[in-house]
Amino acid sequence: MHLHEIRDLFAVIWLNWFSLMSGGFGVLMTAYGARKSQQPARRIFLVFGLIGIFLALAAAWRDEHRIAQQFDDRARQQEVATLYAPFLKEGQKIAVRWADGILKKDMKIVEEERRASVAWLTKVRSRIEADFGSPLANSFNLGAPQGMPLGFSEPQEHDARLRTLDRMILEMRAGRLPLEIKKQTG
């Protein structure tokens, strides 16, 4: 532990203790002291002060624990983002081959890429659901193209999913998509 970390620890404890003692806790201490005698006794102040230090330590630990969890989650999201890059590349290749099949009017290629798109969607959606939960997976699954109702163009819906996945990867890299935490069942 470095000197500046120790200094920061004591500063956080002091701020938590000070806010406890000057807030409702200090009022309780004064009220208790006034009830027992005319002015708060040193012993009452000492007892409440020690309780306040304990509570300040607990509050400092809680705050630091939350910050550490946020940083850990962000690092895990960035790791997960690298796992989604191959999905994006695969989906882009499907889109290119699909468009090529449409331009060449080759229905065999179009049908192959349609099936590949469905398989890709299933694979990516299940991964998103496992990592981020159903709501995000459902929004990815829609693949609504801009300015067009669903069901009119599968290639455009696939393209919309690619754009959604690309935005999601950017959000993961920025640490703004909290990972789903599954409860361990034993």
Encode the chain (186 residues) as per-residue pLDDT tens digits: 677 777 877 777 777 766 666 666 666 766 776 676 655 566 667 777 777 777 777 887 788 777 767 666 777 888 888 899 999 999 999 999 999 999 999 999 999 999 999 999 999 999 988 888 888 888 777 666 565 554 567 888 888 889 989 988 988 888 777 766 543 333
Rounded-to-integer distance, Cα 145 and Cα 165, Å: 13
> Is there a contact between 168 and 84 (Cβ–Cβ < 8 Å)?
yes
Rounded-to-integer distance, Cα 87 and Cα 175, Å: 19
Q: Count CB-CB contacts under 10 A for residue 11.
A: 11
Domain ranges of the chain: 3-68, 75-174
Task: Write the pLDDT tens digit of every residue in 166-186.
Answer: 988 988 888 777 766 543 333
pLDDT at residue number 24 = 67
Q: Count CB-CB contacts under 10 A for residue 33.
A: 18
Confidence (pTM) = 0.58
Q: Where are the beta strands (DSSP E) in 30-175?
A: none
Which two structure tokens, joined as six digits, stand for 166? 């690309």
- Residue carrying the six token digits 């509570």: 55
